[in-house]
Amino acid sequence: MRAVHLADQARTAIGTFLRRWGWLLGLALVAGALFPLSGYVIIVPERDGPVLPALLAPRMQLDPPFARPGDEVRLHVTDYTPWAYVLLTVNGAPIDLETWKAGLGRQWTWTFRFTLPTGPVEIAFYHSCHTGCQERGRMRIGEPPPPTPPPLPTKLGLVFPNPDRDWRGRSGWAVELTYARRAQEPGWGIDDLATKVYRHRAKGLRVLVRVDYDYNQSIPPAGDHLALTEYLEYLARLARDDRLQGVYGYILGSSYNGLDQNALAPDRPVTPEWYARVFNGYGEPALHTDNGVQVIRAANPHVRVLVGPIRPWNTDQNGVYPYRVDVPWLNYMNTLVRYIDETARLKAALGIPLAAPDGFAVQAPGRPEAPELGGRGHLEPQIDLPQPEWRGAQAGFRVYREWLDIINAYPSTRGLPVYITSANTFIPAVGVPPAQNYPRGWLSSALSVVNNEPQIQALCWFLDDLPGDTQWENFSLTRRRGRLVDAAEEFEELLTTR
């Protein structure tokens, strides 16, 4: 209440000041533009805040003003509003508050300490970070880099891209992961995610963020409405955070049809009904908005919301609406899409147009060691591998065609973009990692197939690099173990040729 009272007083004072001294303020602004003070920057107010004169917006002052790269500096931010939950970022990296104080004239000053980086420096000041950081001020130090041609788009992408990777002038895809219950944890929390998004966007990448509920619990346990509320609150926080406005799309969960992704409640697996409930409110009154897609769009109407991928060839769960090829994973997918479509159309009929997905993330692992290939493993993405014991269901990369068939069978999902967010040559039932079985040329074949599928937007290799986690060493393009040296070289060659 004190903050509201202070804000009302500030608005009254501002109005009086502008009526009496507006002409003087105009002169001051011109003078400030002509004679800027070194290390002292006047910042335009926050994106959605009131349109105030620049002199009444935050002041950001570097101390000392003539510091060099490598020097320890302090940045003092002074404003007329007593913001809470403040944060500073320096080239995207978060800097915690050192001190704050109230000064004369009802001003507040926050001080942050950090080491000045080499090269151009971009500094941003945020508030209200407990519900999604809101940008209040921004300054730049040093000459900006010379303009470069916009990167050329490619469908190639990586899960957990190495931040030092050279994308050779291509705008590829980056897939990152965060957990609702780990929002403040290093590595998987919102601050580290924002830093990664900043760095990926600086390279021209399009970023997809997968949002899981917790470790080994991709979606909140079925029927747990408190867990659902916690998940939805985190989705809203992500969508609201100004640091994450460059995110291309959010993926809600992954592999949730597998019981290993239901570790918190193994007796309550994530069924197609429950996933559709979480995603767009299936089974609830149509006017309810407590679901993932509507919560995200209420906070950020521009970001895409994608149905998360289910795991192919997993038989832990089935679906009540069989696909034309009657196997558990395809039945599960068919039932899930049917429920999402039904809910989206019901809401649309009531004038609620924001409940359909913007696309689907899918998994499409290859099977280059399939005996039917006769040693042509590098061509596996181009060859159908129907399995008689699975009633003709595909056994390898071309499972993507069955995902497309299901998606395109329903009115509200027909033709939606599809993103392959996990592709490599590992099949859990076989257990041979890509470092052992990757055949040179497989990635080229997969990209050739995807480039001829206009509905598919991305082909992302799982994975590039995950420092500190040794379980994925035999999947990592950065570490290049075994036959992954061929995959890594091939990936880089494809960036320059396709």
208 in Cβ contact with 251 (< 8 Å)? yes
Write the pLDDT tens digit of every residue in 100-144: 999 888 899 999 999 999 999 999 999 999 999 999 999 999 988
Do 153-497 and 37-141 have the same topology in CATH?
no
State pLDDT tens for residues 367-416.
999 999 999 999 999 999 999 999 999 999 999 999 999 999 999 999 99
CA 179, CA 186: separation in Å to the nearest integer? 11
Length of the chain: 498
Instruction: Please name every residue paired with 127 in a beta bridge, in sequence order, or none if there are none.
Output: 134
CA angle 145, 148, 151 (to 5 degrees): 130
Strand partners, 433: none
CB 25 within 8 A of CB 52: no
First vs last C-alpha separation in the chain: 58
Q: Which long-range contacts (CB under 8 A, 24 or more apart) does 100-109 make?
A: 103/78, 106/6, 106/9, 106/10, 106/80, 107/78, 107/79, 107/80, 108/78, 108/79, 108/80, 108/81, 108/82, 108/83, 109/76, 109/77, 109/78
Q: For 37-141, CATH number? A: 2.60.40.10
DSSP secondary structure letters along 391-404: TTEE-STTHHHHHH
Domains of the chain, residue spans: 37-141, 153-497
Phi, psi (deg, nearest 5) at residue 324: -60, -25
**Tokens 């033709």 correspond to what residue?**
415
Superfamily of domain 153-497: Glycosidases (3.20.20.80)
Task: State how far the Cα of 389 lies from the Cα of 382, in Å rounded to an integer.
Answer: 21
The pLDDT tens digits along the chain (498 residues) read 333 333 344 444 444 444 444 444 443 333 333 333 333 333 333 344 434 444 557 999 999 999 999 999 999 999 999 999 999 999 999 999 999 999 888 899 999 999 999 999 999 999 999 999 999 999 999 988 888 899 999 999 999 999 999 999 999 999 999 999 999 999 999 999 999 999 999 999 999 999 999 999 999 999 999 999 999 999 999 999 999 999 999 999 999 999 999 999 999 999 999 999 999 999 999 999 999 999 999 999 999 999 999 999 999 999 999 999 999 999 999 999 999 999 999 999 999 988 999 999 999 999 999 999 999 999 999 999 999 999 999 999 999 999 999 999 999 999 999 999 999 999 988 899 999 999 999 999 999 999 999 999 999 999 999 998 899 999 999 999 999 999 999 999 999 987
Q: Rg for the chain (alpha carbons), in Å?
A: 26
Please, is 1 exposed, middle or buried when counting C-beta atoms within 10 Å of its C-beta (0-12, 13-18, 19+)?
exposed
